[in-house]
Amino acid sequence: EVQLLESGGGLVQPGGSLRLSCAASGFTFSSYAMSWVRQAPGKGLEWVSAISGSGGSTYYADSVKGRFTISRDNSKNTLYLQMNSLRAEDTAVYYCAKGGAITMVQGGYSFDYWGQGTLVTVSS
């Protein structure tokens, strides 16, 4: 059974940093691209970032480019999102999502499994 378990969310002040983690199990982690998708309270889904199965290719939404860094440790079956220079508008539930293939272009753009999400609140 595929499981994705996010952690690391919490309350942080504007300008602060936070690192999210997503522990994966039930599939060959290194064979699939992974993404982070967020959802602000009462709002829709917003794609944040993606990484290929090998970790060699990374992609970012314009809204987070230069502030967030996605990475993965395939030996630990874990996906990360390092978030710096956080803003109030980054407040959201952050989901990690498994792509359908090893790279985005090959099918990593469809998310067949999602975690339950972790809440990040940016406020003073």
Partner 1 sequence: QSALTQPPSVSGSPGQSVTISCTGTSSDVGSYNRVSWYQQPPGTAPKLMIYEVSNRPSGVPDRFSGSKSGNTASLTISGLQAEDEADYYCSSYTSSSMVFGGGTKLTVL
Pick from 25, 88, 112, 123: which binds partner 1 (CB under 8 A)?
Answer: 112
Least spacing, CB of residue 75 vs partner 1, in Å: 26
Three-state secondary-structure class, residue 76: coil
Query: Considering just the CA atoms, what is the radius of gyration of the chain in Å?
Result: 13
CA distance 21 to 118: 9
Go through 71-104 and write b for each residue having 16 or more CB atoms within 10 A of its CB, e for each that does not. Answer: ebeeeebbbbbebeebeeebbbbbbbbbbebbbb
Of 4 and 86, CB closest to partner 1 = 4
Q: Determine, following the binding rule CB under 8 A, whether residue 95 of this chain makes contact with partner 1.
A: yes
Least spacing, CB of residue 18 vs partner 1, in Å: 20
Contact set for partner 1, span 18-77 (CB under 8 A): 35, 37, 44-47, 50, 59, 61-62
Tokens for 3? Answer: 């499981």
Of 33 and 83, CB closest to partner 1 = 33
Binding site for partner 1 (CB under 8 A): 35, 37, 44-47, 50, 59, 61-62, 95, 100, 104-105, 107, 109-112, 114-117
